[in-house]
Each structure stands twice: as structure tokens, then as C-alpha cells.
């Protein structure tokens, strides 16, 4: 069941949904909380001079943070902190807000785009909208541009909405993994096995 605006406010007040910094009341809509863009924007580098590179996420020593460090670059921001997203491009960024869904809150969430950006052709996730019960960290956004006009993205832009849902029962184990406690688009600690 999706939480309404009143239930979202109550969850925030009671520490069942922790958003840092707290959202302005105008960012709480009938069934979601609008989150804003952070200031880190990264793009994948092209393979150099015919070099062959295959990423193997099923490998026991797969380390997403290392791949991001080696194969992405920061996109230089304009003086106002913005970047221009060109048609056909893909970048990684994250929300300015840190979100925490304590496992005992029996809440999970998903992140979805906002309609204004969607109508310009901008999507905020590829196939990974789920924010699991027990998650803590900023939310990485996989931003794609399917439109025809360049779009300026600026830190603080209301870029996505967090839709919070109740979980039937309390999960038996706390969330762990490479993206728990992430502070950037690279995630957290290396994953050990799959």
C-alpha cells in the first residue's frame, strides 16, 4: 500500500522514514516525496583505441566502485553548478538527500521520474527503481535522455519522486551490499560474491 501525504509526514515525524535534509512541505505530494539533484554528475568513458572491455557483474570479485572510478569521469559543471544533458546521453548522478528506511519501519520505496522531465524525454532510472527496506544512503539515478532538445540539470532540481510503500511484516535480515550507506554514484564497499 502506498503512503499518502499525511502518512508520509507521520512516518518522517516518527523516524520511520528519514530524509536528510528534511524535505520542504511543498515537496510532499499526495503520494510521494520529491527529491532533488545532488552535485555529482558522471559519464562513462568510451573504450580507447579498440581496447576490448567486458564488464562481468556475475564475477565473484566484481567491484562496481572500482569500475566507476576507472571508467567514468566527472562532467565539468557550469559556473552555476549545472550540466547540460544532450539527446541520447546517459549519466550517473545522485539525489542531494540521504534516505533511510529503518528495517523496523516496515517501509520500502521506489523512485520514479517527474512528469515535466519525462515529457522532455529525460528518465531517472534504467531498471532499478526499488529502495529496499533497511536502505540507507543517497539514491543513485541512471539518467537517460530520449528527447530531442538539450536539457539543463542543476543541483537542487526536483528530479524524482520517492513513492513509499508498506511492507507486510518485518524483513528477517538487514539490507547489506555494495550500495548500502552510499554517499556517491559509485556505491559503497566492494561486493563479495553473488
pLDDT > 90? residue 186:
no
Please write the tens of the pLDDT for every residue from 40-73: 999 988 877 666 778 888 989 888 888 888 889 9
Query: Rounded distance, CA 85 to CA 95, Å?
Result: 16
**C-alpha 79: how far from its chain's center?**
24
Residue pointed to by grid coordinates 529496499: 132
* pLDDT at res. 50: 67
* Beta strands per DSSP E along 3-157: 18-20, 33-44, 72-74, 83-85, 90-100, 107-113, 122-123, 130-131, 136-145, 151-153
| Mean pLDDT value across residues 159-167 | 97
Q: Which domains does the chain have, with CATH numbers?
A: 5-44+63-166 (2.70.40.10)
Catalytic residue IDs: 142
CA 140 to each of CA 74, 157, 170: distance values in angstroms, whole numbers, following the listed order: 15, 15, 25
Amino acid at each position: 500500500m502506498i503512503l499518502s501525504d499525511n502518512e508520509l509526514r507521520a512516518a518522517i515525524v516518527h523516524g520511520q522514514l528519514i530524509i536528510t535534509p528534511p524535505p520542504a512541505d511543498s515537496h510532499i505530494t499526495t503520494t510521494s516525496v520529491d527529491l532533488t539533484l545532488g552535485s555529482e554528475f558522471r559519464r562513462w568513458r568510451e573504450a580507447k583505441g579498440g581496447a576490448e572491455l567486458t564488464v562481468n557483474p556475475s564475477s565473484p570479485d566484481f567491484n562496481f566502485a572500482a569500475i566507476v572510478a576507472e571508467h567514468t569521469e566527472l562532467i565539468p559543471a557550469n559556473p552555476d553548478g549545472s550540466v547540460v544533458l544532450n539527446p541520447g546521453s546517459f549519466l550517473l548522478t545522485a539525489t542531494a538527500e540521504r534516505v533511510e528506511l529503518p528495517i523496523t519501519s516496515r517501509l520500502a520505496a521506489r523512485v520514479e521520474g517527474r512528469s515535466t522531465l519525462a515529457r522532455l524525454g529525460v528518465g531517472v532510472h534504467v531498471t532499478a527503481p526499488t529502495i529496499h527496506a533497511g536502505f540507507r544512503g543517497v539514491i543513485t539515478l541512471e539518467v537517460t535522455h530520449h528527447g530531442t532538445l538539450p536539457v539543463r540539470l542543476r543541483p537542487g532540481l526536483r528530479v524524482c519522486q520517492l513513492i513509499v510503500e508498506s511492507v507486510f511484516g518485518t524483513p528477517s535480515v538487514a539490507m547489506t551490499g555494495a550500495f548500502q550507506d552510499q554517499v556517491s554514484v559509485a556505491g559503497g564497499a566492494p561486493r563479495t560474491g553473488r
